Amino acid sequence: MPDLIDVLVVGAGPTGLLLANELGLAGIRTVVIDQLPVRTGQSKALSLQPRSAEILHSRGWLESIRTYEHATVPSGHFGGIRLDYSVFDTAFPFQIGVEQADVERFLEEHLATYDIPVLRGRQLTGLSQTAEKVIAIVDGHPDISAKYVVGADGAHSAVRKLTGFGFPGRDARIQLAVADLTFSQRPAGISDQWELPTTGGYLLPLRDGVHRFLFGGSGAPQTPVPIEEVQEAITAAYGPEAVVGEVRWASRFGDASRQADRYRIGRVLLAGDAAHIHLPAGGQGMNLGLQDAFNLGWKLAATVAGWAPPGLLDTYHHERHPVAAAVLANTRAQGVLTVPDPDIQALRAMVTDLLADPAANRRLAGEISGLDIQYRMPGGDAELLGRRMPDRTLADGSQLADHCRLGRALFVSDGWKERSYDGRIDPLTAAVDTAFLVRPDGYVCWAGDRAESLSAAERHWFGAPQHMRSTVHIGS
Ligand SMILES: Cc1cc2nc3c(=O)[nH]c(=O)nc-3n(C[C@H](O)[C@H](O)[C@H](O)COP(=O)(O)OP(=O)(O)OC[C@H]3O[C@@H](n4cnc5c(N)ncnc54)[C@H](O)[C@@H]3O)c2cc1C
């Protein structure tokens, strides 16, 4: 390993692995470490939300991940109340039922493309930074020096604690349990379809006759979940005819709700569960981490490569912190709605009625799917500004998403002659009403018809190019 690498990613969960792929795509010398000697193969998350599907598709990786798909989940949900994703302009108005372990497997194997090692059985135990670098102590030895370190090391993040990030919020008030089980006797009422959660428990079909059961556990946090406890909860929810055969994996979790007060201190950044924890309601945590990684990847790569304009790296916090704050709020609300108290169930009935209203559905479906995020950006009030660019067919018949594979920004117009921006922006032609500039993470950072304001946006997001050719506007 060189004396000084570009980026050390701590944690080979979905967040760290996607980030490392994004950095690899940009040619950044990256190393990933994880304390686990081998991947566990266990999955907390079971599905990709539409926006996560879009970002993985834009890099050409979704198709390989979908070979592991075990279900297509036609809708989202808010505390078990159905959300309709079909109102959005997306190729993926549904959840893709693929287990977290399979997402991780693909992302880890794909790192070989970039020669990025995942060093397993290596635990981060200390961290210090200077103005020039970060020194990581691994297994007690000052081992790896990097220009930047990203803590993608989960809810108990060592990076977060060692660097001194604040993590305000509250501890868990309720304890729940999850068990992946088989039935030795399965009543007819237990379906092989994905259904919405209820207040009594949540049973989801996985592969090979295994079901995931989420329920209100009766044991203490961090203690094993015995099969007797699982059986008791299954009996309460589905009657005595439902008999558990085998419990393949079981764990406890709670509704603690905390978020790092900032996502960057100097050369150290946080992403994924290291930056935010919440009740896993609505299927959001892994998806939030993947989208953190996608937001951070190109910005960190630009910073290491030396062309990032001032402040670019800090937009990671400014953009992603509010998104996770909203998820923390919606998961707290979902947690309340599933309490089997008659008064709360009256509230739940009202929320169910309200969500039948298209505007209300759009508001929550947009948040939970990740499709309706709008980042605050300078440059006017165009409707598209700060939003993800939905896929489009271009003049040559190709799709916009096909051009995102290299991880570069795209400039789409009806024929403007665009400058070469040192390979940072690829120009494309399409029959569009207005020209737009899309960042490498798929968000529109400029839309309009004036070359001067385009120049300002290019410099704002992509710095000053070394070798510029003139811009000629031959559009309208
Ligand atoms: C029961 C349950 C169900 C869930 N269901 C969903 C769902 O349906 N949809 C969804 O989107 N999310 C769901 N989640 C949340 C989701 O699993 C997490 O948000 C996701 O795992 C976060 O990914 P991550 O990469 O940020 O962190 P993690 O997956 O926690 O990965 C962190 C990695 O860092 C490593 N690490 C930790 N400390 C160190 C150290 N000191 N040195 C080196 N390595 C270290 C760990 O070994 C681990 O591999 C669920 C969570 C639970 C508990």
4-170+258-369: CATH number: 3.50.50.60
Asked if the model's pLDDT at residue 446 lies above 50, the reply is yes
Helices then strands, counting H and E runs in the chain, come out as 11, 23
Asked if the model's pLDDT at residue 470 lies above 80, the reply is no
175-254: CATH number: 3.30.70.2450
Q: What pLDDT is stored for residue 476 in this prediction?
A: 30
CA R_g for the chain:
23
Q: Mean of the pLDDT values across residues 82-105?
A: 97
Say yes or no: CB of residue 47 within 6 Å of ligand 1.
Answer: yes
Q: What pLDDT is stored for residue 363 in this prediction?
A: 97
Going by DSSP bridges, is the β-strand pair 425-429/409-413 parallel, antiparallel, or unpaired? parallel
Asked if the model's pLDDT at residue 382 lies above 90, the reply is no
Task: Specify the residue with its C-alpha closest to ligand 1, atom 2.
Answer: 44
Q: Mean of the pLDDT values across residues 109-124?
A: 98
Q: Mean of the pLDDT values across residues 372-377?
A: 96
* Residue 393 CA to ligand 1 centre (angstroms): 36
Nearest to 209, CA basis, from 233, 234, 183, 231: 183
| Within this chain, domains 4-170+258-369 and 382-476 share the same CATH topology | no
* Contact status, residue 116 vs residue 22, Cβ threshold 8 Å: no
pLDDT in tens, 179-209: 999 999 988 878 777 776 665 677 888 888 8
Cα separation values, 234 from 49, 62, 83, 327, 338, Å: 28, 35, 26, 29, 17
Q: What pLDDT is stored for residue 473 in this prediction?
A: 41
Say yes or no: CB of residue 287 within 6 Å of ligand 1.
Answer: yes
* Residue 130 CA to ligand 1 centre (angstroms): 29
How many whole angstroms separate alpha carbon 20 and alpha carbon 111?
7
pLDDT in tens, 199-235: 567 788 888 889 999 998 888 888 999 999 999 999 9
* Residue 332 CA to ligand 1 centre (angstroms): 19
**CATH architecture observed for domain 382-476:** 3-Layer(aba) Sandwich (3.40)
pLDDT over 70 percentage in the chain: 96
How many whole angstroms separate alpha carbon 187 and alpha carbon 238?
8
Nearest to 44, CA basis, from 209, 204, 208, 244: 204
Q: Which of 145-159, 168-182, 371-385, 455-469 has the lowest mean pLDDT?
A: 455-469
Asked if the model's pLDDT at residue 120 lies above 50, the reply is yes
* Residue 426 CA to ligand 1 centre (angstroms): 35
Q: What pLDDT is stored for residue 198 in this prediction?
A: 62
* Residue 286 CA to ligand 1 centre (angstroms): 7
Q: What pLDDT is stored for residue 351 in this prediction?
A: 97
Task: Specify the residue with its C-alpha closest to ligand 1, atom 3.
Answer: 44
Task: Specify the residue with its C-alpha closest to ligand 1, atom 6.
Answer: 45
Q: What pLDDT is stored for residue 205 in this prediction?
A: 87
Asked if the model's pLDDT at residue 423 lies above 90, the reply is no
pLDDT in tens, 32-46: 999 999 999 999 999
Say yes or no: CB of residue 124 within 6 Å of ligand 1.
Answer: yes
Edge-to-edge strands of the sheet including 257-259?
169-170, 257-259, 276-277
Q: What pLDDT is stored for residue 418 in this prediction?
A: 66
Domain ranges of the chain: 4-170+258-369, 175-254, 382-476
Q: Give the mean pLDDT of the chain.
A: 93
